[in-house]
A and B are shown apart, each in its own frame.
Chain A
């Protein structure tokens, strides 16, 4: 009886084991199978090199260079390496310990200890490997801008992605230590410049040692980008405006490609890449001179007399004046006998002038007369027709739309009525009106092309959508303006005579925009050759003083450079 019981218990035990195994292996098999796969398979991502950027002549503007990084395998590290490593890298031990323990993208990923160390130091560490178990030198690809600040605003800069971005973004493209474009082309074309991360699917053993590569996907490098800027031209323009707070842009009118777009002060984008330059970065971000800001597009200024081109067009188009309409300037203008006087820059007065002479001498009183015959809406309409007050479709970040005011805008934003006196200041490009230098360049380009739409760009798309329409301004009126602009430079009374050159007929307009309490902003914009315009340009100097002096001198220097570089080809 007891024997039977014992035998029964034994068989029952066997059956118990069998049913337990059935539950574990058959019922839960799928689950454990997945866990075991996760156990053994590890994905090691490989970063794709970022695409390069070339100028119009295939010079490299942005590329990558090797960076020697110190990485650690925390699993293999022993504490006695820290004093030596601290001495070699000149980093406190506690900081090193913190970095070794920092969060990693995947299990057994090496931890970053120090990026981009000098080559000599890398060799030194490599030689002392025996004393530094778990420490390795890894070569990675680092963004490099060989020309520093030359085209810095166009190129922009990059930065490490942060935790929040990493969580949101596509893992196939962004890793925990990936860089991402923060401004300029680096930001706008980040999707193109950034390639696709590759990776190795490896089988590892329990110690995390690689046993074999199961699958390997090579990273796909980012696409290269070519821009229309001519590096050499850009460099020489940057040289001309060295020390200024200025913006210069030059446009090829046929292709609508920007040949140069320079802004000062500028910055070295390398400062955002090299880990050792955190101080420089902080300095750039806080600097009152705002070196990160592209003065050509990101900030809007009163255009001053340059805007008289628009007022003239508005007067002609609305039929309020003809090219031969004469007004007398005796130094100031009053709306009516009781109102305050609006002065001309020439307090002696210009006497009797027609439109050509008024443009040539930039007479304020003439344009007060024109503006007083117009409504703010009239002026605003032609300003907008010529592209002011709207964001440009440029491949850049932080594009300012500028501001074209009218009475509705004033009522809405300032909650006040529009005074007629404000129309007068509007008419000479002062008051609420704000434009960016690139908007002025577009405006003058449209004039140069007899009213055809122009959209400046520095990245040529593969299938450009070219809208060949024109502004709603009669060509004959534009031709009047162009003639006036020729006089600005060529006439002995012109305000832009300083920019006159002997090799081409230049048409331009100067501007001296009041910016109290500081010095006026200095403007000059134009095109050449007058008969068959090929090039348009804008020069703007923040608080540069007289447009006819400061800006005109820069225009002349720029034209000389242009002649040296391109004139022989044009003959």
Chain B
């Protein structure tokens, strides 16, 4: 019985994920060892919670969660509303819900809930019947949480919704011309969206285009992050010996800028190890995706993969200047309970897809 349960798990995925969490823990320690708050203990606790979630989700089966999609979606909307009304302010934005000693970040769960809801919704509609109605409803499903996240404001998280919906439509089978229209409309709308951005967000984007415009102000983080990663060189400055991060030239180095610590202390070599871990994770996800015939499952995995790769791209990209600075976590690596539990939950769903692949 136990052996069978063991065999049903997709071990490459679990190993890749464990590797990432391991690297994350190591660098959270490096980034916060002098802090009075013990981030590492908390992270270990959340790793435990995440592991439990990871193993429990397949017991219920992903179908349960898919059919519960609308419920999750609704709960997340309530949480986002709650953040808006009574959320905790941190760093100029309202993104957290205080739950006793913890702070819950609903936007982390909103991404997943939206993917589940969309996969469930799109999976039920055939792309061969009138596409327009489906597309509009799907867009509405995305738009509501997106608008609420933009309002927080959480520019980074909201940015992730674009590739997510794009990938899901694309794999669902959207007509090419709709895809082209959407891209065109997006291109036209982007300058209009500029008006809705808060001043600091505008500044971030301007500074992204030219960090030296304000080297001690808005550009400071971008420059310091790049110095941190770049100064790591081939093999890095040694564990816990990164001057840029240890001396706090790079802010938020245990959460959003954790990659700076790794890049500086382990150099290109360490960065490559991390990327290889991610590559293995994606490989496992894609294997599972290709092995299932359930369209909903395929869309679910594709959505999760799209969000994960986007997060990866933005988070690492901003440290060496190809992406603007936004507050996005590095999945499995950054410190943060919400991020970790949401990610392991997503992996649990994928494991469940793997377990139930043989039904057909």
B298 CB contacts on chain A under 8 angstroms: 3
Listed stretches A22-30, A373-381, A551-559; interface member: A22-30
Interface residues of A (CB under 8 A from B): 2-3, 6-7, 10-11, 13-14, 16-18, 20-22, 24-26, 28-33, 35-37, 39-40, 203-207, 211
Is B271 an interface residue when CB atoms closer than 8 A count as contact? Answer: yes
Q: Per-position contact with A for B317-335: 1 when CB-CB < 8 Å, else 0? A: 1001110000000000000
Give complex CA distance A25, B273 in Å.
Answer: 14
Give complex CA distance A207, B309 in Å.
Answer: 35
- Interface pair B271/A40, CB less than 8 Å apart: no
Given A3-B298, A31-B230: 16 more A-B contacts, CB < 8 Å: A2-B170, A3-B171, A7-B282, A17-B313, A18-B275, A24-B229, A25-B230, A32-B229, A33-B230, A36-B227, A36-B231, A39-B244, A40-B249, A203-B243, A204-B247, A206-B248
- Interface pair B234/A25, CB less than 8 Å apart: yes
- Interface pair B309/A32, CB less than 8 Å apart: no
- Interface pair B268/A13, CB less than 8 Å apart: no
- Interface pair A28/B230, CB less than 8 Å apart: yes
- Interface pair B234/A29, CB less than 8 Å apart: yes
B244 CB contacts on chain A under 8 angstroms: 36, 39-40
Is B50 an interface residue when CB atoms closer than 8 A count as contact? Answer: no
Quick one: which of B230, B243, B305 contacts A40, CB cutoff 8 A?
B243
Is B226 an interface residue when CB atoms closer than 8 A count as contact? Answer: yes
- Interface pair A7/B275, CB less than 8 Å apart: no
- Interface pair A203/B234, CB less than 8 Å apart: no
Interface residues of B (CB under 8 A from A): 167, 170-171, 173, 224, 226-234, 243-244, 247-249, 263-264, 267-268, 271-272, 275, 278-279, 282, 286, 289-290, 298, 302, 305-306, 309, 312-313, 316-317, 320-322
Q: Nearest-CB distance from B97 to chain A (Å)?
A: 30
* CB contact under 8 A between A6 and B317, given known A33-B233, A35-B231: no
- Interface pair A24/B230, CB less than 8 Å apart: yes
- Interface pair A21/B271, CB less than 8 Å apart: yes
Give complex CA distance A18, B275 in Å.
Answer: 7
Q: Nearest-CB distance from B60 to chain A (Å)?
A: 26
* CB contact under 8 A between A7 and B268, given known A2-B173, A18-B275, A211-B247: no
* CB contact under 8 A between A205 and B317, given known A2-B170, A10-B305: no
- Interface pair B248/A26, CB less than 8 Å apart: no
Nearest first, the 10 closest Cβ-Cβ pairs linking A and B are A32-B230, A29-B233, A36-B231, A25-B268, A205-B247, A32-B231, A24-B320, A206-B248, A33-B231, A206-B249
Quick one: which of A3, A11, A28, A29 contacts B279, CB cutoff 8 A?
A11
* CB contact under 8 A between A25 and B313, given known A14-B278, A39-B243: no
**Chain A minimum-CB-distance residue to B268:** A25
* CB contact under 8 A between A6 and B231, given known A25-B263, A205-B248: no
Give complex CA distance A22, B249 in Å.
Answer: 22
Give complex CA distance A35, B232 in Å.
Answer: 12
Quick one: which of A6, A20, A33 contacts B171, CB cutoff 8 A?
A6
- Interface pair B232/A25, CB less than 8 Å apart: yes
A22 CB contacts on chain B under 8 angstroms: 268
Q: Nearest-CB distance from A177 to chain B (Å)?
A: 25
Q: Nearest-CB distance from A25 to chain B (Å)?
A: 4
Give complex CA distance A202, B290 in Å.
Answer: 57
Q: Nearest-CB distance from B104 to chain A (Å)?
A: 29
**Which interface residue of B233, B234, B264, B298 has the most chain A CB atoms within 10 A?**
B233
A3 CB contacts on chain B under 8 angstroms: 171, 289-290, 298, 302
- Interface pair B316/A21, CB less than 8 Å apart: yes
**Chain B minimum-CB-distance residue to A36:** B231
* CB contact under 8 A between A10 and B248, given known A21-B320, A32-B231: no
- Interface pair B247/A40, CB less than 8 Å apart: yes
**Chain A minimum-CB-distance residue to B174:** A2
Q: Nearest-CB distance from B231 to chain A (Å)?
A: 4
B171 CB contacts on chain A under 8 angstroms: 2-3, 6
Give complex CA distance A17, B290 in Å.
Answer: 25
**Which interface residue of A14, A17, A33, A40 has the most chain B CB atoms within 10 A?**
A17
Q: Nearest-CB distance from A446 to chain B (Å)?
A: 70
- Interface pair A13/B309, CB less than 8 Å apart: yes
B170 CB contacts on chain A under 8 angstroms: 2, 6
**Chain B minimum-CB-distance residue to A7:** B286
Q: Nearest-CB distance from B300 to chain A (Å)?
A: 13
Give complex CA distance A36, B232 in Å.
Answer: 10
Quick one: which of B227, B267, B290, B313 contacts A13, CB cutoff 8 A?
B313
**Chain B minimum-CB-distance residue to A32:** B230
A207 CB contacts on chain B under 8 angstroms: 248
**Which interface residue of B171, B229, B264 has the most chain A CB atoms within 10 A?**
B229
**Chain B minimum-CB-distance residue to A28:** B230
A18 CB contacts on chain B under 8 angstroms: 271-272, 275
Q: Nearest-CB distance from A10 to chain B (Å)?
A: 5
B272 CB contacts on chain A under 8 angstroms: 18, 21
Q: List 19 A-B contacts (CB under 8 A).
A: A2-B170, A6-B170, A6-B171, A6-B306, A10-B286, A11-B279, A13-B309, A13-B312, A16-B313, A18-B275, A21-B316, A22-B268, A25-B268, A33-B230, A33-B231, A39-B247, A39-B249, A40-B247, A211-B247
- Interface pair B286/A36, CB less than 8 Å apart: no
* CB contact under 8 A between A10 and B309, given known A2-B170, A21-B263: yes
B271 CB contacts on chain A under 8 angstroms: 18, 21, 25
Q: Nearest-CB distance from B288 to chain A (Å)?
A: 12
B232 CB contacts on chain A under 8 angstroms: 25, 29
**Chain A minimum-CB-distance residue to B242:** A36
Q: Nearest-CB distance from B3 to chain A (Å)?
A: 32
A25 CB contacts on chain B under 8 angstroms: 229-230, 232-234, 263, 267-268, 271
B230 CB contacts on chain A under 8 angstroms: 24-25, 28-29, 31-33, 35
A32 CB contacts on chain B under 8 angstroms: 226-227, 229-231
**Chain A minimum-CB-distance residue to B315:** A17
B320 CB contacts on chain A under 8 angstroms: 20-21, 24
B322 CB contacts on chain A under 8 angstroms: 20
**Chain A minimum-CB-distance residue to B172:** A2
Give complex CA distance A206, B244 in Å.
Answer: 8
A11 CB contacts on chain B under 8 angstroms: 279, 282
Q: Nearest-CB distance from A323 to chain B (Å)?
A: 88
A24 CB contacts on chain B under 8 angstroms: 226, 229-230, 320-321
A16 CB contacts on chain B under 8 angstroms: 313
Give complex CA distance A16, B320 in Å.
Answer: 12
Q: Nearest-CB distance from A210 to chain B (Å)?
A: 11
A7 CB contacts on chain B under 8 angstroms: 282, 286
- Interface pair B317/A20, CB less than 8 Å apart: yes
A37 CB contacts on chain B under 8 angstroms: 243
Give complex CA distance A3, B299 in Å.
Answer: 10
Give complex CA distance A441, B327 in Å.
Answer: 85
B286 CB contacts on chain A under 8 angstroms: 7, 10
Give complex CA distance A25, B247 in Å.
Answer: 20
Give complex CA distance A25, B263 in Å.
Answer: 8
Q: Nearest-CB distance from B277 to chain A (Å)?
A: 11
A204 CB contacts on chain B under 8 angstroms: 247
